[in-house]
């Protein structure tokens, strides 16, 4: 009888997906202490917490650059490549642009067969093709844990760039993917999540935000970002702070991937859930009726999550119709309150 030699990539790593990001408080502490050099052509860098840097090309257009990579949350190399590519490209969509070209970043253990690397690259190349771009090169190093991602470039007219600032009072806040990926994949690693529910989480992660961006292109998007490792509350807080406003999230309007709430109730929570709350917990307030599992889900990291858009109520309704059930209003923008975020 042949031995089962299937490789379980997720069992080779301590953390996975966007949950593997450095705790935001630690990152901020480092960034605040390093030299900052101004460049008049650099319209947006890391200090603005946007999804990509914005570099003025001087001809009415700007260059967008982003990079993202992480360890695997699934065992299949091809699927991992798809998810990592979709996640990295999403930062360009969150800025309102079409990606142009990408380069890959691969950390690969010498103990794995090269066929695994090939499958990861094949998945990423096919997902990039779906986005309309090529992966034109990259860099590979030997590492004890596998990691993969992309650096992505785009070009867009200067006045058409979306940023995470600019929310206007009475705007509707729209989200384009269900929440719960972080909790589901944490329980999957522990062998507890149901196969069907995990399949839905994987389907969400491998889905490009291409349609989500294109459907809003002719609308007046006041602010935008995507929901990834910093959680819904973290990314909402960044939008509120950058806009000088506050955001009210309606917990009854939130949608979660099947199984996520039950697993959160059982305590299957990613580590990032706690580091996120440590960093932005003081900027968030909850109504008394909000249960702990819901708080857990809202602080938990997402991987390759949906776009979060701030639009007028009329534009939000148009957008939701275009998205055919793949987007939903989760709250509204209000004047500046004591806290950035209120969950009711």
Q: What confidence category does residue 8 fall into, taking pLDDT thresholds of 50, 70 and 90?
A: confident
Average pLDDT over residues 241-247: 96
Chain centroid offset of residue 270 CA = 15
d(CA 68, CA 22): 13
10-25 tens-digit pLDDT:
888 877 767 677 677 7
| Nearest residue to 239 (alpha-carbon basis) of 53, 63, 51, 64 | 51
pLDDT at 4: 39
Tell me what pLDDT residue 1 has. 31
Spatial neighbors of 214 by CB under 8 A, at least 6 apart, are: none
Comparing CA positions, the residue from 114, 341, 99, 320 lying closest to residue 208 is 99
SS3 86: helix
Lowest mean pLDDT among 15-29, 135-149, 311-325: 15-29
Q: Does the pLDDT at position 106 exceed 50?
A: yes
Is the separation of the CB atoms in 139 and 94 below 8 Å? no
Within 72-112, strands assigned E span 99-108
* 190-232 tens-digit pLDDT: 888 889 999 999 999 999 999 999 999 999 999 999 999 999 9
Nearest residue to 121 (alpha-carbon basis) of 150, 145, 92, 99:
150
> H-helix or E-strand containing 122?
helix 114-131
| Mean pLDDT, range 31-47, rounded to an integer | 77
Asked if pLDDT for residue 48 goes beyond 70, the answer is no
> In whole angstroms, what is the distance from residue 319 CA to residue 218 CA?
10
Check pLDDT > 90 for residue 257: yes
Share of the chain above pLDDT 70, in %: 96
CA dihedral sign, ordered 106, 110, 114, 119 = negative
Q: Which residues pair with 225 in a beta bridge?
A: 308
User: Catalytic one among 18, 107, 111, 167?
Assistant: 18
Question: Taking 80 as the threshold, does the pLDDT of residue 45 lie above it?
Answer: no
How do residues 116-126 score in pLDDT, each as one tens digit? 999 999 999 99
pLDDT reported for residue 36: 75
Which helix H or strand E contains 53, and what residues bound it? strand 53-56
3-state SS, 231-296, equals: HHHHHHHHHHHHHCCEEEECHHHCCECCCHHHHHHCCCCCCHHHHHHHHHHHHEEECCCCCHHHHH
Report CA-CA distances (Å) from 162 to 93, 97, 105, 248, 286.
Answer: 9, 8, 26, 21, 29
Q: pLDDT tens, 151-171? A: 999 999 999 999 999 999 999
Question: Which range is least confidently modeled, 97-111, 189-203, 251-265?
Answer: 189-203
18 is catalytic: yes
* Pick from 89, 331, 322, 335: nearest CA to 219: 322
**Gap between the Cα atoms of 303 and 228, Å rounded:** 5
51-79 residue pLDDT tens: 899 999 999 999 999 999 999 999 999 99
Tell me: pLDDT of 268 over 80: yes
Mean pLDDT of the chain: 92
Angstrom distance (rounded) from CA 66 to CA 53? 7
Query: Is the pLDDT at 281 greater than 60, yes or no?
Result: yes
pLDDT score at 3:
37
Kindly tell me if the per-residue pLDDT of 266 is higher than 60.
Answer: yes
Candidates 6, 290, 332, 327; CA nearest to 170 is: 332
Query: Average pLDDT for residues 280-300, to the nearest whole number?
Result: 96
All structural domains of the chain, each given as residue ranges with its CATH number in brackets, are 9-160 (3.30.1330.10), 172-343 (3.90.650.10)
Two tokens at 275? 């580091």
Provide the 10 A C-beta neighbour count for residue 139.
10
């Amino acid at each position: 009888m042949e031995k089962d030699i299937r490789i379980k990539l997720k069992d080779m790593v301590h953390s996975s997906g966007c949950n593997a990001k450095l705790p935001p408080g630690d990152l901020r502490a480092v960034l605040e202490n390093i030299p900052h050099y101004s460049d008049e052509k650099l319209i947006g860098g890391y200090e603005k917490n946007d999804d990509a840097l914005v570099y003025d090309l001087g001809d009415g257009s700007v260059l967008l650059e982003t990079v993202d990579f992480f360890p695997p949350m699934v065992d299949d190399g091809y699927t991992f490549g798809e998810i990592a590519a979709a996640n990295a490209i999403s930062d360009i969509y969150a800025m309102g642009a079409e990606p142009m070209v990408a380069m890959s970043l691969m950390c690969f253990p010498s103990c794995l067969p090269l066929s695994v690397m090939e499958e990861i690259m094949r998945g990423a190349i096919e997902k990039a093709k779906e986005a309309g771009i090529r992966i034109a090169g990259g860099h590979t190093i030997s590492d004890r844990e596998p990691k993969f991602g992309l650096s992505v470039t785009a070009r867009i007219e200067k006045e058409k760039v979306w940023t995470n600032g600019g929310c206007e009072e009475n705007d509707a806040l729209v989200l384009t993917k269900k929440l719960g990926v972080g909790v589901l994949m944490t329980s999957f690693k522990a062998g507890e999540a149901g196969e069907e529910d995990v399949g839905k989480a994987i389907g969400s992660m491998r889905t490009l935000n291409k349609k989500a961006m294109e459907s809003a292109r002719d609308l007046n998007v006041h602010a935008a970002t995507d929901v990834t490792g910093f959680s819904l509350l973290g990314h909402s807080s960044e939008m509120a702070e950058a806009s000088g406003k506050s955001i009210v999230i309606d917990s009854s309007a939130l949608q979660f991937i099947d199984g996520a709430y039950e697993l959160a109730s059982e305590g299957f929570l990613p580590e990032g859930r706690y580091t996120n709350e440590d960093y932005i917990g003081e900027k968030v307030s909850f109504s008394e009726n909000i249960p702990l599992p819901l708080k857990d889900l809202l602080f938990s990291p997402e991987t390759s999550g949906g776009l979060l858009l701030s639009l007028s109520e009329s534009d939000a309704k148009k957008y939701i119709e275009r998205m055919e059930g793949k987007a939903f209003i989760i709250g509204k923008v209000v004047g500046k309150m004591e806290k950035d975020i209120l969950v009711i």
